[in-house]
């Protein structure tokens, strides 16, 4: 197991290095000169050139790459071209919304999907199964921003239980969580639908395995067989989906953030792109890549905890 973790860790670091190079190079070749953009259309070429030097945009490629990476390691992400404040501060403000929101939505989706998926698998072809499968179909089909608007209509405007948007900050954690509840529900609906379906089909596959029959032949009841033998084996594909969903929720919540006026990472990166604030884009993308790689690493470790066959150093 230790050598397995070490091996995964090495691959994590290599992925980070590779992705930092790719992100850096891609943003080098995209059209649009930040200096030109900042000074507007009427700027003289001399002024633009001076600004480029001031921004450090005209040094050799390799030098700029290392300056950027070393800055990242120190937590110094540079100064935003448009906001004129450190990028690290911009990100820090927003990550405290996006990260809790992603975790909240994922927790909700898992809490809904597990029991529902297990129930559907165990009561296969029953009314409950048909109902659950139908509901998840709807959950997948409904666009989440529209669902978010319905939530606002019902819970904010009619019932007045939740505010319709905005974020009060973390001074009062309960109030903050309350503000994140409707967005989290809106985000969790399609995720829970996918996860419940994966859980159901994975569990059905597992319940058809020979060792389930062996367990029954030992004298275990259906319930005992499910809990002791089937569930853990059914978990591998479910974990894969959870990992993918977390990465998506962290960066992909932009529409929901807009519906609820939440200043999250998705909005930051969107504004960065429209205003050619490449340093913001570069840093946020790098951060998201880091998050995805980290989640993949954690999912890999969880795989190995669940399935002893994956614990060898190399696969």
- 210 is a site residue for other proteins (CB under 8 A): yes
Close Cβ partners of 275 (under 8 Å, ≥ 6 residues apart)? 37, 81, 82
CA-based nearest residue to 107, from 45, 55, 181, 161: 181
The single-letter DSSP state of residue 309 is: G
Candidate list 197, 200, 229, 276; residue touching other proteins; CB under 8 A = 229
Among positions 215, 226, 265, 299, the unique one binding other proteins when judged by CB under 8 A: 215
213 binds other proteins (CB under 8 A): yes
Q: Using the 8-state DSSP alphabet, how is residue 158 labeled?
A: I
Asked whether position 126 contacts other proteins by CB under 8 A, the answer is no
For the CB of residue 295, give the shortest distance to other proteins in the complex, in Å. 22
Name the H helices within the chain.
Answer: 2-29, 34-39, 45-55, 61-74, 87-122, 127-141, 144-151, 173-207, 210-217, 222-225, 231-251, 254-259, 265-274, 278-306
Is residue 306 exposed (0-12), middle (13-18) or buried (19+ Cβ within 10 Å)? Answer: middle
- The smaller minimum CB distance to other proteins, of residues 141 and 217, is found at 217
Q: Which of 16, 220, 255, 273 binds other proteins (CB under 8 A)?
A: 220
Q: Which residues of 248-273 are buried (b: 16+ CB within 10 A; e: fewer)?
A: bbbbbbbbbbbbbebbbbbbbbbbbb
Q: What are the phi and psi torsion angles at 123 (to 5°)?
A: -100, 50
Rule CB under 8 A: is residue 171 a binding residue for other proteins? no
Task: Give the interface segment with other proteins, choosing from 55-63, 162-170, 279-287, 307-315 (CB under 8 A).
Answer: 307-315
Which range, of 6-14, 134-142, 179-187, 263-271, touches other proteins by CB under 8 A? 6-14
- 284 CB burial (10 A radius; 0-12, 13-18, 19+): buried
Question: Measured from the CB of residue 313, what is the shortest distance to other proteins in angstroms?
Answer: 7
**Site stretch for other proteins (CB under 8 A), options 79-87, 135-143, 162-170, 225-233:** 225-233
120 part of the interface to other proteins, by CB under 8 A: no
Which position among 216, 270, 271, 290 is part of the footprint of other proteins (CB under 8 A)? 216
Measured over all CA atoms, what is the biggest interatomic distance in the chain, rounded to whole angstroms? 85
Stretch of residues binding other proteins (CB under 8 A), selected from 63-71, 178-186, 211-219, 277-285: 211-219
At residue 112, φ and ψ (nearest 5 deg) are: -80, -45
Closest to 189 in 3D by CA, of 127, 131, 243, 249 = 249
Report, in Å, the least distance between residue 15 CB and other proteins. Answer: 17
Indicate whether 211 belongs to the interface with other proteins (CB under 8 A). yes
Residue 8 Cβ, how far from other proteins at the closest point, in Å?
12
Of 153-161, 165-173, 267-275, 306-314, the window that binds other proteins (rule: CB under 8 A) is 306-314
Closer to other proteins by CB, 3 or 53: give it: 3
- Chain residues binding other proteins by CB under 8 A are 3, 6-7, 10, 209-211, 213-221, 224, 228-229, 232-233, 306-309, 312-315
């Amino acid at each position: 197991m230790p050598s397995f973790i070490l091996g995964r860790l090495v691959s994590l670091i290599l992925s980070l290095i590779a992705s930092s190079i790719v992100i850096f190079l891609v943003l080098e070749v995209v059209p649009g000169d930040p200096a030109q953009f900042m000074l507007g259309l009427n700027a003289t070429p001399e002024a633009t050139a001076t600004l480029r030097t001031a921004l450090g945009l005209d040094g050799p490629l390799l030098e700029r790459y290392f300056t950027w990476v070393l800055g990242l390691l120190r937590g110094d992400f540079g100064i935003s071209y448009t906001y004129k404040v450190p990028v690290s501060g911009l990100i820090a403000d927003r990550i405290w919304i996006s990260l809790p929101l992603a975790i909240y939505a994922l927790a909700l989706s898992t809490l809904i999907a597990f029991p529902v998926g297990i129930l559907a698998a165990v009561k296969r072809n029953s009314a409950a199964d048909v109902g659950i499968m139908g509901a998840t179909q709807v959950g997948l089909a409904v666009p989440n921003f529209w669902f978010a608007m319905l939530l606002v209509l019902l819970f904010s405007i009619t019932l007045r239980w939740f505010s319709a948007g905005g974020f009060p900050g973390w001074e009062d954690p309960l109030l903050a969580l309350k503000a994140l509840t409707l967005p989290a529900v809106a985000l969790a609906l399609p995720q829970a639908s996918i996860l419940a379906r994966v859980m159901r089909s994975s569990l059905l596959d597992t319940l058809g395995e020979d060792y389930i029959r062996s367990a029954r032949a030992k004298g275990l009841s259906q319930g005992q067989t499910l809990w002791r033998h089937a569930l853990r084996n059914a978990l591998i594909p479910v974990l894969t989906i959870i990992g993918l969903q977390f990465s998506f929720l962290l960066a992909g919540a932009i529409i929901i953030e807009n519906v609820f006026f939440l200043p999250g990472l998705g909005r930051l990166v969107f504004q960065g792109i429209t205003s050619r604030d490449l340093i913001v884009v570069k840093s946020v993308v790098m951060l998201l890549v880091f998050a995805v790689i980290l989640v993949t690493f954690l999912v890999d470790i969880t795989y190995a905890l669940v399935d002893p066959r994956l614990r060898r150093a190399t696969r």
